[in-house]
Structure 1
Amino acid sequence: MRQLNPALDPQTALADWSTATSANADPWTHYTCKLVTPLYGGGVRAAEVDTAMPIRAAGIRGQLRFWWRIANGPFASSAEMFQREVAIWGGIGNKNPVASKVAVRIDRITGQTHPEPAFIYQSNPNKPGELKTMPDAADWIDSYALFPARGELTKDKRAAEVPPHKLIRAGLGFRLGVRDADLTAAQRAEVTAALRWWASFGGVGARTRRGLGAVQVSNLPLVTAEEVAQRGGQLCVRAVEKTAELAWKMSVTRLRDFRQGIDLGRDPRSPGSESPAGRSRWPEPDIIRHQTRRHSHGHQPTHPVTTVYPRAAFGLPIVFHFKDENKGEPPQQLLVPDMGDRKGDRMASQLILRPYWDGKNWRPAALLLPGWEAALTVRAGFGDGTFKRAWPTAPAERQQLAAQIEPMQKRGDDPLTAFLHYFEER
C-alpha cells in the first residue's frame, strides 16, 4: 500500500498556506474617497492646485498627524504626547531621527482634475475701461469662504494684477491607502481614530477649516457629537440640506451673517447711503477709530466696548478695510496675534465649518476643536507692539461685555459660544 507523503499532509499544507498568505497579504488598508466641496490649493505653490497630482499623500499624512493629536488627547503632558507621536509618525526623537511607521498613498483618481477660476472680474459699466472692484463668484463656490482667492486689481482697475485663483470642483474621486503594519494594535487603533476625525472634519488642500476640500469616505464611520464632547470640543449641526454643497454654503453663511449680516452683525443701510449696509455692531472698527483718532463725518466712534477684540477668537489675522479712507476714515488695519518669540502673524481658527454626513443626509456643521477656549485669551494688536487680550477671563466681565455687543446678546458670554447658539437658531 502506498504511503502518504508527509509533505502532502493536509493539515501541514494548510498551516504552510496560512503562513505564506499572511506573509504576502496586502499591508495597505484602502479607503474610497470623494471630494464633496471644491479643492483649493494643495500643490507645491501656495493657493495653486497641482493638476498632475491634485491630491497629495504628504498633505493627507500631515492632516492625519494633526487629527491624531485631537482624536487621542488630551495627554498627561506635552512630553507624553511627543513620545507617542514620534513613535507613530516619526520626527526628531530624544537622540536620533525616527522614521514614520505610517505610510500614505493616493491612486485611482477619477473625475475632473482641471481647475477653474473661482471669480471673474467684470467690466464696470459706469467707468469705461475699468473693472468692477468686486469680482463675480462662480455659483459652485462660497465667496465668503474664499476671499483669498479673489485676486487683486491694478491701481487703475484696468486689469487683474493677481488673477483670481483656480479650484477643482467637487466630485473628484480617489483611493487613499494607509500602511501601518509595524505599529502595535493600540497604535493602529489610534491611527484609525485619526482617520475618522479627518474624514469627519478635515479635508485636502487649503482652507479646510472653512469647509474647502471636504471628503466623504465610504468605509469609515464619522465622529459623533458625543465623541467630540468627550475630547472637550463642541459639535453643532443644523437641519438636513439636499446636497453637501448646500450644507457647506449654509454653514459658512451662518458665520458671515453673525459677523457681517444686516440687522445682526451690521446696522441696516442709512437712508440715502450708497453702502449696502450700515455700521458694524462689533467693537473693533470703533476701537481703530479711537486709536488712530480718525473717522469720517457721521462715523464718530460710539461703540461702548473699547477694550477687547472679540472677533480675534475666530482666527487671525483680520483685515479691517474702511471704504471711506479718502473721507477721513482710518487706513486699512491688520489685527494680528502676539506670537512672542515665535515668528508669524497667524492664529488658526478653532472653528471648523463644513458639511457633515450623518449616515443618511448632509447637514451644515460647526465644530469647536478641543482646547478652543485658548483662542479667547489670545493677545492681539495692530502691529504697533501694543497687544491686549481678545476676551477677558472673569465671568462677570464677560457677561457685561457680551450684553453690549448686539450679535452676542442673550447667546453666550464669549464670541465662539455665542456663535454656536446662533448657528443652531432656526
Structure 2
Amino acid sequence: MVMRKLPRGEGGGELLPPPVQPQLNRRVIGGKVVPLVTQVRSYELITPLFGGGVEPGETDPVTIIRGPAIRGQLRFWWRACRGGRFNGDLAAMKDAEDKLWGAASTERKSMPSQVQITVEVTNRGWEEQPFERRARPSSGWRDLAYAAFPLQGKDEEAPGKVRVGVTFTLLLTYPKSQQEEIQAEIEAALWAWETFGGIGARTRRGFGALKLVSVDGRPVTPPGVDEVEAKIHEGLQKHVVSGTWPAGVPHLCLNPRMKVTGRYSDPKAAWEYLVKCIRDFRQSRPGASPRQPGRSRWPEPDEIRRLTDCRCDRHAKPLSTVRKFPRAAFGLPIVFHFKDEKIGDPYDTILQGRDYERLASPLILRPLACADGAVGLAVILEGTGVAVLPDGLILRKKEEADISWPVEATIEAHEAQKIPPLDGIPDVLQAFLKEL
C-alpha cells in the first residue's frame, strides 16, 4: 500500500480537508427526522501517537486520528465492561454490540450504528524519531526505547516516527429516543477507553495515552495522585457488570489485578518508570553492563539450546533446569535472537501459538495525568493470555516454519522457585506487578 500524500495548494503548501460540520440536533433515519443527543469531548495525547493511520504502524499524513479507529477502541472497551451480562454467549454479545456500534449491512439486514462519531484534530503536533540509524535511541528516548523497538528500522530502512502534542475533539451523537437505553453503555466504553486505552498502535505499552480535557466545553479536572486508585475502583463498580464473559474475550473485572505507582512530575516520567520496570523484569541478567550483558536468569535461552541442540562453549553449562517459556505471558510472538549464533548458539527462533501467531498482551501499562502530577498504571485484563490458546505453543525456526517444537509456558510453584525474577510466584504477570 502506498502512503497517501497531502494535496498541495497554489503556493505549494499542504491542503487539509475542511472540518466536518455535522447536524448536531437531528438526523434523518429511514426518511424520518430523529432528535439527537450530542456530546463533545476534547482530548490531548499525553504520550506520543504510534501509527494510527490506514497503514499499520504509520501515521497518516491526512487523517492523524481516524473515527473508525476510535469506534474500534470503544467497541473493545464496551465488550471489556459489559460483555459479562451475556452468560458466556458470544453470539448474544456480538448481536448487542452490533446493534449499538454497527456492523456491515446486508440485503436482508441493515445494521447502522446508533452512535455517530466525528473526529476533529485540533492540533496535529509534531514528529519525533525515537531512533537514529543503527537503532541508537534519540535524545529523550533512551528510557523509552524498549517500548518503541518496532520503530528501529531494519538494514537500510529508515527508523520510524511518532507524533507528539496531538489534541483532538470527539463528537458523539445518538438518538434521543434511545438515550435511557444506551447512554450507560456509551459511558462505560468511554470511561474504560479513557482510563486504560489510547489511540494508535502499542497502546498497551503506553503509546497514545489519553487525557480528557473537557466535555461540552466544560473543563475536566483529573483526580489528584492520592485519589486515582479510588476513582478507578469507583469507575469499575459503576461500569463493569458482574457475570460470565464468552471464552477468550479480554475484559475487566470488579477487582482487577492492578497497580498504581507513586507520584511523578509528569506523564512522561511515569511512563519511563513503567517501561524501565518491564524491561528490567523481562531482561533480568545478573551483573549486566553495556559491554557485558550477562546471561538471562529466565529459562527460555537454555531450553532453546536444548531443543535446537546448539550451544556455544561459553554456554556449555546451563543455568536453568526449567523447561518452559514463561515470558509468553507478556504476549506473542516472541523472537529469540542469540548474539553468539556465529560461534555455536542457536539460530533465530519464534515463540507463537500453534494456530495463532499473535496474542495481545494481557498487561496494560500507561501513565495517567493527575491534578498534581502523574502516576503509572499497570492492569491485567482477564479472559486472555496463553492459557486461552486452543492448541498450545510452538517454538519454530524463524527461517523455516516447518521446523518446530511443542512447548509449554505455564509455571508450577516449584518451578517458580527456580526462576529468580519470579521470586517464587508462578503467575508471571502478578510477579511483575510486585516489582512496581
Question: What is the match of residue 236 of structure 1?
Answer: 259
Change (3 A) 1:178 1:360: farther
How far off its partner does 1:200 sit? 0.7
Matching of residue 311 in structure 1 with residue 306 in structure 2 = no
1:176 and 2:152 equivalent? no
Match of 1:327 in 2: 343
Q: Which residue of 2 aligns with 1:366?
A: 378
> Residues 275, 324 of structure 1: CA spacing in aligned structure 2 closer, same or farther, 3 A cutoff?
farther
Q: Greater shift after overlay, 379-388 or 248-257? A: 379-388
Bigger CA drift: 289-298 or 224-233? Answer: 224-233
Is the 1:90–1:97 contact (alpha carbons within 8 Å) kept by the matching residues of 2? Answer: no
Q: Does 1:115 pair with 2:115?
A: no
2:318 aligned partner = 302
CA distance in 2, matches of 1:71, 1:345: 27
Q: Is the 8 A contact 1:205 1:213 kept in 2?
A: yes
Which of 422, 425, 428 aligns to 1:408? It is 422
Deviations 1:82-139 (A, max 9, x none): 1211111122589635122122111151252x42322112xxxxxxxxxxx4323341
Q: What residue number does 1:79 align with? A: 91
- 1:201 lines up with 2:223 in the alignment: no
Shift of 1:241: 0.5
Query: Which letter does structure 2 place at the counterpart of 1:176?
Result: L
**Cα 1:276–1:96 shift into 2, 3 Å:** farther
| Residues 69 and 278 (structure 1), Cα distance of their counterparts in 2 relative to 1, 3 Å cut | same
Aligned to 1:389: 408
Amino acid across the alignment from 1:405: I
Distance in 2 (CA, whole Å) between partners of 1:236 and 1:336 is 28
**What value does the CA root-mean-square deviation take over the aligned residues?**
2.6
Q: State the shift of 1:376 in Å.
A: 4.2
From 37, 48, 62, give the equivalent of 1:38. Answer: 48
2:394 and 2:406 in contact (8 A); partners too: yes
Where 1:109 maps in the other structure, the secondary structure is strand
Letter in 2 for 1:253: K
TM-score, length-scaled by structure 1? 0.79
Query: SS at 2:118's partner residue?
Result: strand
Contact 2:364-2:378 at 8 Å conserved across structures = yes
Q: What's the CA shift for 1:377?
A: 5.8
Q: Deviations over 1:13-43 (max 9, x none)?
A: xxxxxx9xxx897642111100100111111
For 1:288, what is the secondary structure of its paired residue?
A: helix
Deviation at 1:232, TM superposition (A): 5.5
1:209-228, aligned counterparts within 5 Å? 209-218=204-213, 219=215, 224-225=232-233, 227=236
CA-to-aligned-CA distance 1:167-214 (integer Å, 9 cap, x gap): 111x22111111222645232211111001101111111111100011
Structure 1 pair 25/246, CA: closer, same or farther in 2 (3 Å)? farther
Checking the alignment, whether the CA contact within 8 Å between 1:289 and 1:301 is kept in structure 2 is no
C-alpha change, 1:32 and 1:92, in structure 2 (3 Å) is closer
Given the superposition, is the C-alpha separation of residues 106 and 92 from structure 1 closer, same or farther in structure 2, using an over 3 Å criterion? closer
Alignment partner of 1:146 out of 145, 148, 153? 148
SS of residue in 2 equivalent to 1:165:
coil
Q: Which runs of 5+ in 2 are unaligned?
A: 1-25, 27-32, 223-227, 241-251, 397-402
Check the 8 A contact 1:377/1:391 in 2, yes or no.
no
CA drift at 1:51? 2.3
The one of 186, 190, 205 aligned to 2:185: 190
SS of residue matched to 1:119: coil
Secondary structure of residue in 1 paired with 2:315: coil
Helix, strand or coil for the counterpart of 1:298? helix
Distance 2:258 2:83 in 1: 17
| Contact 2:36 2:174 (8 Å CA) reproduced | no
With the length of structure 2 as denominator, give the TM-score of the two structures. Answer: 0.77
Q: 1:399 aligns with which of 406, 410, 413?
A: 413
8 Å CA contact retained: 2:334, 2:350: yes
User: Larger Cα Rg: Structure 1 or Structure 2?
Assistant: 1
Give the conservation status (yes or no) of the 8 Å contact 1:335–1:381.
yes
- What is the aligned residue count? 364
| Distance (Å, rounded) in 2 between the aligned partners of 1:247 and 1:358 | 11
| Secondary structure at 2:73 match in 1 | helix
Deviations 1:264-302 (A, max 9, x none): x112149xxx84320000111111100111111120252
Determine helix, strand or coil for the equivalent of 1:206.
coil
Tell me the secondary structure at the aligned position of residue 69 of structure 1: helix
**C-alpha distance in structure 2 between counterparts of 1:389 and 1:106, whole Å:** 44
CA distance in 1: counterparts of 2:127 and 2:141, whole angstroms = 12
Q: Please say if residues 314 and 350 of structure 1, whose CA atoms lie closer than 8 Å, have aligned partners that are also in contact.
A: yes
Q: Deviations over 1:309-356 (max 9, x none)?
A: 1000100011111011111111111111222xxxx5110000011102
Partner of 1:380: 393
Tell me, in whole angstroms, the C-alpha distance in 1 between the residues paired with 2:109 and 2:36: 30
State the match for 1:134 in structure 2. 135
For 1:293, which of 309, 312, 316 is the aligned residue? Answer: 309
* Secondary structure class of the residue paired with 2:135: coil
